[in-house]
Amino acid sequence: MADGNRQILLDRLPQGDKLGPEHFRLAEASVPSAGAGEVLLRTRYISLDAANRAWMQGATYRSALEGGQVMAGGALAEVIQSNVSHLAPGDTVFADTGWQDYAVAPGARLEKLPAANLAEGEPVTHLMSVYGVAGLTAYFGLLECGRPKAGETVVVSAAAGSVGSIVGQIAKIKGCRVVGIAGGAEKGRWLTDELGFDAAVDYKSPEFKRLLRAEVPDGVDVYFDNTGGAVFEAVLFAMKNFGRIACCGALSQYDGAPPAHGPRGIPGLIVTKRLTLRGFVVMDFDTQREAALKDLAGWVASGQLKVQEDIIDGLENTPAALIGLLNGENRGKRMVKVR
């Protein structure tokens, strides 16, 4: 390769403070080569997720990050060089490349992304939004953990985000009343006017709890929680008997010191309201993935599900894109087009 390998290093871990540009550093290395059983990948679109920040806090479903390393993250990538038989140059994969132009990865666990889900002219980025972790997380969390029935009231937090924006639309497809929680009036209008949510509530309003109650006068059947914290607590108190909470993330708690306390009402309200709370990670549903992708592709094709992507240009802007995501800048699935 003539060019080098630009890398964004996680220079040092935040220590209970908010993530800022000072935690990252741009570096340049030479382009690596694939060894036996490995592939050389060129990253095309880097996925940005609240999970990137959660990994800095300690072990989650993956090991904690350490300072000084290339920042970890998934990306849509193109195979440049392959030493495994099931992948060839030009294939597209989703891989844990980290934030860099090129990465070498073991080939065994990578799979060529099936073009089958993409309709004629459908952008490749859909493989990382609606047909990727975001879409599948929304699908399985809502349908398997939340189990909404037509006519029920579904509330989703971080509703304008990559997962929340899909959760709300699937809940509408399933015949539910859908209330999205997001920050600011403009996001709320976007949810109702563009995505068809029945209502939106601004969690930044001093009147948040009252506004929420007004939108769910009979209570909440299903809550898809992306945030934890004060929003979680407010919805918990608004749950109906036999309600279900799908616990997907704790966005409010990733970017700063861990909270000293949890929400009130735990476990008392779980008992008196006979609630079920279930945590999940999308990989837990791998065996059901094909059926889910078929549903999602059908809804996209019919126009019932609008794919929302928020694409930032340039590898060098990846730190700012993540910091912005943690501050709620994005609409739908945020990613960085590497070059």
Q: For binding to a copy of itself (CB under 8 A), which residues are involved?
A: 59-61, 225, 228, 232-233, 245, 247-250, 253, 258-281, 284
- Measured CA to CA, the distance from residue 32 to residue 81 in angstroms comes to 11
- Measured CA to CA, the distance from residue 196 to residue 121 in angstroms comes to 25
Report the nearest approach of a copy of itself to the CB of residue 218 (Å). 16
Q: Whose Cβ is closer to a copy of itself: residue 124's or residue 281's?
A: 281
Report the nearest approach of a copy of itself to the CB of residue 151 (Å). 21
Residues in the chain: 339
Report the nearest approach of a copy of itself to the CB of residue 276 (Å). 5
- Measured CA to CA, the distance from residue 318 to residue 335 in angstroms comes to 8
Is 201 in contact with 225 (CB distance < 8 Å)? no
Nearest one of 253, 25, 249 to 156, comparing CA atoms: 249
| Beta pairing partners, 199 | 179
- Measured CA to CA, the distance from residue 52 to residue 163 in angstroms comes to 15
Nearest one of 31, 32, 50, 22 to 254, comparing CA atoms: 50
Q: Whose Cβ is closer to a copy of itself: residue 21's or residue 268's?
A: 268
- Measured CA to CA, the distance from residue 311 to residue 316 in angstroms comes to 14
Report the nearest approach of a copy of itself to the CB of residue 318 (Å). 24
Report the nearest approach of a copy of itself to the CB of residue 233 (Å). 8
Q: Whose Cβ is closer to a copy of itself: residue 190's or residue 232's?
A: 232
Count of C-beta atoms within a 10 Å radius of residue 183: 17
Q: Whose Cβ is closer to a copy of itself: residue 35's or residue 58's?
A: 58
Is 24 in contact with 72 (CB distance < 8 Å)? no
Q: Whose Cβ is closer to a copy of itself: residue 105's or residue 145's?
A: 145
Q: Residues 6 or more apart from 281 whose CB is under 8 A from it?
A: 61
Q: Residues 6 or more apart from 261 whose CB is under 8 A from it?
A: none
Report the nearest approach of a copy of itself to the CB of residue 198 (Å). 25
Q: Whose Cβ is closer to a copy of itself: residue 186's or residue 284's?
A: 284
Report the nearest approach of a copy of itself to the CB of residue 166 (Å). 18
Nearest one of 45, 126, 180 to 296, comparing CA atoms: 126
Q: Whose Cβ is closer to a copy of itself: residue 72's or residue 110's?
A: 72
Q: Whose Cβ is closer to a copy of itself: residue 91's or residue 225's?
A: 225
Report the nearest approach of a copy of itself to the CB of residue 244 (Å). 10
- Measured CA to CA, the distance from residue 231 to residue 157 in angstroms comes to 8
